[in-house]
Amino acid sequence: MKAYVVFSSREPLLVVTRQAIYCSEVLSRLRRVGYSKFIAREVPIEHVHQQYGRRFEIVESALHEGDDLRVLDYSGERVFRSLPFSDYGPPFRHESPVANKKNLYAKQPPPPATREESAVSAASKQAENSP
């Protein structure tokens, strides 16, 4: 069993899984819940158990019943307070092709002009061309 802090455009969360984060089943599960681009860092399972106690044991039993991955904590603030950075392992970066489907910073074409804007533009062009 492994535990990871997952950082994405959303708030960080703490997940527990039976497999490594880079396994296709785990990546698929994260993608289904909206995590298609993220950085994950493994944290020692013993420290997670020590910090979360009974809550960890409930999630652990759910994993033994067949789930690939369970979220232990959705509160990034609580995750940060509970686990010091010195516990974090090396980063694992994941970016699925779906994550880059649309470039939000690319220059977008201007929206089509309204009838009023077109009429004003035509009138100003006509005024510029008249002697």
For 68-126, how does the pLDDT look when each residue is reduced to its tens digit (9 = 90+)? 789 999 998 999 999 999 999 999 999 987 555 555 555 556 666 566 656 556 656 66
Q: d(Cα 61, Cα 67) in Å, to the nearest integer?
A: 10
Is the residue at 125 inside a domain? no
pTM for the structure as a whole? 0.71
**Segments forming the whole domain that contains residue 97:** 2-104
CA pair distance 69, 96, nearest whole angstrom: 18
In a domain, 116, yes or no: no
Does 119 fall in a domain? no
State residue 91 phi and psi, 5-degree precision: -75, 145
Residue 76 is assigned to a structural domain of this protein:
yes
What domain count does the chain have?
1
Residue 109 lies in a domain: no
pLDDT in tens, 45-65: 999 999 999 999 998 888 877
